[in-house]
Amino acid sequence: MSPDDLPALTIAELQSLLRRKEVSPREVLKSLRARIDQVEPKIDAYLSIDLNAALKEAEKVDVDLPLGGVPIAIKDIINVTGQPCTCGSKILASYRSPYDATVIEKLCAAGAIPFGKTNMDEFAMGSSTENSSVKLTRNPWDLSRVPGGSSGGSAAAVAADAAFAGLGTDTGGSIRQPASLCGIVGLKPSYGRVSRFGLVAFASSLDQVGPLTKTVRDSAMIMNAIAGHDRHDSTSLPDRVPDYTKNLGRDLKGMRLGLPKEYMIEGIDPQVKSAVDGAIKQLQSLGAEIVDVSLPHTDYGIAVYYFLATAEASANLARFDGVRYGHRAKEPKDLLDHYGRTREEGFGPEVKRRIILGTYVLSSGYYDAYYVRAQKVRELIRQDFVKAFEKVDAIISPTSPVPAFKLGERTADPLAMYLADIFTNTGNLAGICGISLPCGFARVNGSQLPIGLQIMGKSLDEARIFQIAHAYEQSTDWHKARSPISVNSKSEIRNKNGADDRD
């Protein structure tokens, strides 16, 4: 295999080459670096890359470890020792991490090499990566469109073969939605499954770290490395971590999949609906039984989410006060001026908007009316899922109501941007797990845009949604379709089940 082709491989494929010593970790890094240089001018997925630090790791790595020698791109909100961690914000432009997040320690213990920090919406607030204070990332399938967000840099890099896999974070859909828009696999683990120690906090009752990968198997392999209890994160769950690859290859006979009637809303793109309908037929043909379920409080998800997430963000972002790290305003005349200007100069518009909304819903006189009421409706949303999971093993929906939209199309209207998370944020509110994987394409103005299928499972049931996702993936060719700028562009792949609406 020529070094130019290496970055097209999945983790599983790369690993077998590494173990057979057909390629060294050093050669892998060099070829990935060359690939990044080639596509980065088009997609702008990375914020920083430190080849020398990665090469140092590569010298001592044991390729027989579970992820031995595999480079993984890291969303720039997760601390990696010695590397920047800007969160896409001016306020952390000069920050360097003095420590590793637990997920980074765990990846390294499994032999992986953190390589490159990826672009994101500032402090993970957004659904298009356009809220990055640094630059715009572009969707590899159509460079005039957004990659989704907030983990848009990791998603675009994987879709363009500029990363073998990436880590992202998901507070309301920020792994699954960009995975959907970029035609890759993205998993939001159950709340508490993966440690958040060393992740810069946005909304602490919702945030989770998870993988963005080319295949379901790769996602399971990364989860095997990063899941588990961490004494540094009191919200991490002590439950045993299963081998997430164990169920891969098992069939779907007897599996009951729920179809929530509330998800077939107006405003869902007809091509998205038709692709998801095709996926449902395919899952049935694999032996799964489709069951109608109801999640009656779905329609309140966005409103609940934006009260709770902004409230938590306004508290979490209070730490950016220009005292211990980050930007500090020049020559403040007193302490109030110091805080007010430091934060004015350091934060971008969306972050400011959310701090204001969050502060408002927590303020005296409004706390009960907004914040407490939202918490109560959150409980009703959680109970909806508990009841649905009494009847079914997993729940199926589109990941995003629309394929990738144009850069700039939604930036002037925050509410329109918030609605991008309509099928994903209830999963965060309920603390359950969810995966997005490719299930077709929409044709829009001559571009072929990926569509994602979401499979949601109950808390700690990742192994089961991996099993369903893998069975579906392996029975279709969607995951083999590569973006037009990938190494071996094979985007014109037809689905075996005939649900393909491409010409």
Partner 1 sequence: MAKTTDLDVGYVSKLARLNLSDQETKLFQKQLADVLKYAEKLREVDVSHVEAAAHAVPMFNVFREDKPCDWFSADEALSNAPHKANQLFVVTKVVE
**Enzyme catalytic residues:** 75, 150, 174
| 123-152 residues near partner 1, rule: CB under 8 A | none
Min dist CB 363 to partner 1, Å, is 6
Of positions 322, 398, 434, 450, contacts partner 1 by CB under 8 A: 322
Torsion of CA 189, 192, 194, 200, to 10 degrees: 100
| 292-321 residues near partner 1, rule: CB under 8 A | 297, 299-300, 302-304, 306-307, 314, 318, 321
- Residue 48 binds partner 1 (CB under 8 A): no
Q: Is 38 helix (H, G, I), strand (E, B) or coil?
A: helix
- Residue 325 binds partner 1 (CB under 8 A): yes
Strand pairing class (256-260; 394-398): parallel
- Residue 107 binds partner 1 (CB under 8 A): no
| 152-191 residues near partner 1, rule: CB under 8 A | 191
Min dist CB 491 to partner 1, Å, is 37
* Cα gap 438→451, rounded to integer Å: 6
- Residue 344 binds partner 1 (CB under 8 A): yes
- Residue 408 binds partner 1 (CB under 8 A): no
* Cα gap 435→438, rounded to integer Å: 10
- Residue 1 binds partner 1 (CB under 8 A): no
- Residue 459 binds partner 1 (CB under 8 A): yes
- Residue 429 binds partner 1 (CB under 8 A): yes
Q: Which is nearer to partner 1, 69 or 260 (CB)?
A: 260
Min dist CB 298 to partner 1, Å, is 12
Q: Which is nearer to partner 1, 34 or 366 (CB)?
A: 366
* Cα gap 197→216, rounded to integer Å: 25
Sign of CA dihedral 442, 444, 446, 450: negative
DSSP-assigned states of every residue in 396-455:
EEESSSSSPPBTTSSTT-HHHHHGGGTTTHHHHHHT-EEEEEEEEEEEETTEEEEEEEEE
Q: Which is nearer to partner 1, 279 or 361 (CB)?
A: 361
* Cα gap 160→156, rounded to integer Å: 6
Residue 133 CA: distances (Å) to CA of 49, 109, 138, 303, 307: 18, 33, 15, 26, 24
- Residue 249 binds partner 1 (CB under 8 A): no
Q: Which residues contact 464 (CB under 8 A, 6 or more apart)?
A: 247, 393, 394, 457
Q: In this structure, what DSSP letter does residue 368 have?
A: I
Of positions 343, 458, 464, 482, contacts partner 1 by CB under 8 A: 343
- Residue 220 binds partner 1 (CB under 8 A): no
Sign of CA dihedral 223, 437, 470, 62: negative
| 382-401 residues near partner 1, rule: CB under 8 A | 382
Which residue matches tokens 């709770």? 308
Question: Between 353 and 372, how does the x/- string for binding to partner 1 read (CB under 8 A)?
Answer: x-xxx-xx--x-xx--xx-x
Q: Which is nearer to partner 1, 97 or 486 (CB)?
A: 97
- Residue 375 binds partner 1 (CB under 8 A): yes
